[in-house]
Structure 1
Amino acid sequence: MFGIPAGLPWHLADEVYVPTNCNEEFHWVLAVVVLKERHIKVYDSMSSSRTNRKLCAKIQKLSTMLPKYLESSGFFEQKDRTNWSVLESYQGKNKSHSFEVIHVTGIAQQASNSLLYFLIDDIPCSDYGVFVATYAEFLSDGLQIPSDGIISQSLRLRYALLL
């Protein structure tokens, strides 16, 4: 697994992590663009059908827009690391063909009581960002995201200490 550090060209990465705000409020998910497989994997800490409908619209736009951006930026012509035309996931598809969206299941979810917003210095907050950061940390370390056991309060303290 090779994520993309800021400032490097996309053609040097296998995956690109995109924190995505789904409903213009506090709900964030992690979208992982897996370039060689032509997928966008969506990691959502609150997977409900209502949320997925709103989420699908944002991620579907990304899946449609992304190939057009890659084509116009000359991404597919960069073959020093990967010859995109020989990859199975790119064969039989034109360059502007949408990426497949996969909603990842079986991952740790927020506890129902953590869906309530809390205040930090009178600013409303939620645990979405903590889960997005945790998912990204697990994935960038090459680990599977556990199906449970993520304690958001402990992670908030840990990330605060790191800052």
Structure 2
Amino acid sequence: MQSRIPRQSSQEPGAQRADNDARLGDALAPVIGGARRRAVRDGDRQVDTAHLLHSLLESDPAVRAAFGDGPRIARLLGYLVQRSIGYGLRWQGRVEDSGAVPVVAGAAGFSPLASASMDDARERAAARGGQPRGTDLLAAIMADPQARAVEVVRRAGIDPREVCPLIGDRPGVTEECGETGR
């Protein structure tokens, strides 16, 4: 009997995507999966930093805590939901790119900034000697002032620099997070 499930070779995009997701570790796999589903549901061409932020807020209590009290989280989630139902239409069809990182073709469905943020999260975790956590990814996302997630945070009335000290476990995280960019 032949299987109904097609096999993927290591050359196919789905296999590459699984490999990229695995490098972020088990803790962030649900975050990446949630961001991918949100991008598809929103009709976006790529997973961007706002998709990652939305998924982080839904799944990681430490990330929610970095933003403070309930009303701030509610306002931020409200902006992210508005974006998913139409607020972000002006972004559709455009690649999220600040110009600070090179545009890489075939970035496994991620915008250049989202891809660079995931790489940065891995580096932050390696410097700490552990696996990437949601706060590593949040710090990486907040590090580029041109990121869509940073724009959404600002529109929600939250200064990204206020979030940074709450997520840092390394000296100098305030400078790395939202202040100087990449």
Asked which structure has the greater CA Rg, the reply is 1
**TM more than 0.5:** no
Task: Identify the TM-score tier after normalising by the shorter chain.
Answer: under 0.3
Q: TM-score, normalised by structure 2?
A: 0.25
Higher share of residues assigned strand: 1
**Greater percentage in helix:** 2
* TM-score (norm: length of structure 1): 0.27
